[in-house]
Amino acid sequence: MVTARNLFLRAGWVGVALLSPVVVCAAERALFPSPLHITRELSNPVAGTTTVIDEYCQGNRVVAVSGQKTAIADYDKGVITEIDFAAGTYSVTKFEDIAKAQPNTGATLAATAKSEWRVESKGGKVVASRPAEVTEAAHGPQTIRVAADRQLTLSRNAIETLMGFAYPYRRDAAADTILGALRNQERTLATNAANREADYHLPLEYAVRIELDGETIETTNVVTRVGSETPPPERLAIPPGATLVESKTVALRRMLDELDRAPNTH
């Protein structure tokens, strides 16, 4: 029997991806022309945990710090470096290897992507002491709530990076609907090139609720602070003597591939 918990796990949705690199050509405008520091809280109802992440965005690089772990996405080089200071390990993974490791979310999300989402404005609210406009999109058992910052706008590439919609990650079934809710309608007629690029609002809250067979599961990704600080230098350097290991994403994909190739002894 398909339950809300199973659907949640099959979709692989535990909140917005920690990092979601896009391919950025040197001739293009930087993803983040000015330093941007976002502190967010991610809830995982399956594990019963809440994770605090500090994201430092500048140029074509995003540094995510959570506890004793740091993840550095360098879009110019096309690699993610993950450092675990507590374990004394680090990994360096190419974007293409992460893309290959992405799971197939199956027919459920594929069908959703082709269907109409019911979109409704829910008015304004305050998130992280910042005014926001709330939009809800519903399809079947799934409801998505997004709160768009009224003050800060970024380019579409930058927003897709923060939302986890871009390569090397698989595009979410509701990506176009969510991007539509974040689009700044006031700038659609702007003639200045810079203004045309920065026409998507920063999402201050992103929640997904699934109701199925009497079960309800809701994950939330809420921004608690927006600033312009740069990452602490000590969180960027691989510590002396650290051991190079395989990234967990690639290791998991390899393990699943090995299980698929194993002979059926049932």
Rounded to whole angstroms, the Cα distance separating 55 from 154 reads 15
| 3-class state of residue 184 by DSSP | coil
Rounded to whole angstroms, the Cα distance separating 147 from 168 reads 25
φ, ψ of residue 84 to 5 degrees: the values are -110, 100
| Per-residue pLDDT tens listing for the chain (266 residues) | 333 333 333 333 333 344 444 444 444 679 999 999 999 999 988 889 999 999 999 999 999 999 999 999 999 999 999 999 999 999 999 998 888 877 655 444 444 554 689 999 999 999 999 999 999 999 999 999 999 999 999 999 999 999 888 777 777 778 999 999 999 877 544 444 444 556 899 999 999 999 988 899 999 999 999 999 999 999 999 999 999 999 987 777 777 666 666 665 54
Contact by Cβ (8 Å): 191, 7: no
Instruction: Please name each of the domains of the chain with its CATH number.
Output: 4-255 (2.50.20.10)
Contact by Cβ (8 Å): 21, 161: yes
First-residue to last-residue Cα distance in the chain? 22
Contact by Cβ (8 Å): 217, 8: yes
> Whole-prediction pTM value?
0.80
Torsion sign over Cα 232, 72, 83, 39: positive
Rounded to whole angstroms, the Cα distance separating 156 from 17 reads 16
Q: State both tokens at 135.
A: 């939009």
10 Å Cβ neighbour count for 254? 13
Among the listed residues 104, 88, 149, the one whose alpha carbon sits nearest the alpha carbon of residue 12: 104
Rounded to whole angstroms, the Cα distance separating 214 from 143 reads 15
